[in-house]
Amino acid sequence: MGRLVMKFGGTSVANIERIQNVARHVKREVDAGHEVAVVVSAMSGKTNELVAWCREASPMHDAREYDAVVASGEQVTSGLLAIALQAVGIQARSWQGWQLPISTSDAHASARITDIDGSEIIKRFGDRKEVAVIAGFQGINPETGRITTLGRGGSDTSAVAIAAALKADRCDIYTDVDGVYTTDPRVVPKAKRLDKVAFEEMLELASQGAKVLQVRSVELGMVHNMPIFVRSSFDKPEDIDPHGTPPGTLICSEEIIMENHVVTGIAFSKDEAQISVRRIEDKPGVAASIFGPLADANINVDMIVQNVSEDGKTTDLTFTVPAADFARAKQTITSAQDEIGYARFDSETDVAKVSVIGSGMRSHAGVAAQAFAALAARNINIRAITTSEIKFSVLIDAAYTELAVRTLHTLYGLDQV
């Protein structure tokens, strides 16, 4: 017997029929003797509807009331799933984030979990054999007593954090895909599902554009060494052996993976904007005068390239920001033009970032050079490059994104993984 946390996303609980299907998945694990907690998202499309209502009521709405509204989607789902479980003979009750409680910071709409008290749920596992159905995406700030939400995709983070708090054996993330692939199968039909991915690799994949898991959920899994299993909720519950290994991808520590491929996957993001601040006086503090205000505005800067003029007197700084933050980034920099002292502001929004990820890069030289040669052969121009120990990224024109992904996927033998 083990202890499992099962998380179901919006498409998995989109209507009553799918919620009943989820109940059968949960019943399978309970019947196998497992102690089970379930974390649910709002029904598909419901959070978007609630957000739209807030904006319609007032474009400049109170973030605390926004959280009170959007957290209601998960409350509905958790109650409905508890009812569906009771209907198939499973002892179950719903829990809202504040009832556990899941304690968070007071950063409404993007709160971070600070503590989870799982003692009552663990007690009920023993006393009542009760399944806990927990509303994801939400918590409570202990100082204010207000409901908080964790940001879009926050139910993944809730699930991994709850699994750690309950000392679960594994956190199963049920979604509309059957695992993590070498790249997006819609772009590369030959993409293969990976059986296992190291936490570090998954963190890079998620942060560079792969949409399977929220970045913070992977971070939590790595910190707490909590295995995460990504699997499909659309597999028939009765066809799955609860004691076997169903199709899916296990995200775990690198030590568990016997053999690392040089490259594990290719991620890409079209939600990028490139900014170039030109002919700035080359002196100490210039970079801080640009990136400081951007940090104060909570704008994440990714790829940074600096070019110094031949005479060494001026420099150009080129960097990328998320496309959604481009307008704020432009306003932040242009409003500080006198302080920065730049001559020209250039920008480009029709760009994409393509990233190659693999822990095997640590011990193999020339991996990036192969990519640069292959992209050049396809006449794909590289605007900027960043590297880390297990990843490198290139910024290219968005029109070449799919060609670049297919080229690199084939180059590193991922078509045959």
CA distance 37 to 31: 14
CA distance 170 to 227: 5
Looking at residue 403, its amino acid is L
Q: Does 211 appear as a known binding residue?
A: yes
Residues 6+ apart with CB under 8 A from 397: 350, 351, 352, 380, 381, 383
Q: Map residue 206 onto helix, strand or coil.
A: helix
Residues 6+ apart with CB under 8 A from 187: 268, 402, 405, 406
* DSSP-assigned beta bridge partners for residue 5: 37, 171
Crossing angle, helix 215-224 and helix 199-207, to 10 degrees? 160
CA distance 41 to 21: 15
Q: Does 182 appear as a known binding residue?
A: no
In terms of C-beta density within 10 A (0-12 exposed, 13-18 middle, 19 or more buried), how is residue 398 classed? middle
Q: Does 310 appear as a known binding residue?
A: no
Report residue 275 as tokens: 């900014």
Q: Does 176 appear as a known binding residue?
A: yes
Q: Does 181 appear as a known binding residue?
A: yes
Q: Does 204 appear as a known binding residue?
A: no
Q: Map residue 235 onto helix, strand or coil.
A: coil
- Give, in degrees to the nearest 5, the angle at Cα 217 between 215 and 219: 70
Q: Does 74 appear as a known binding residue?
A: yes
CA distance 117 to 115: 7
Binding residues for substrate: 47, 74
- List the binding residues for ATP: 7-10, 175-176, 181, 186, 211-212
Q: Which residues are annotated as a binding site?
A: 7-10, 47, 74, 175-176, 181, 186, 211-212
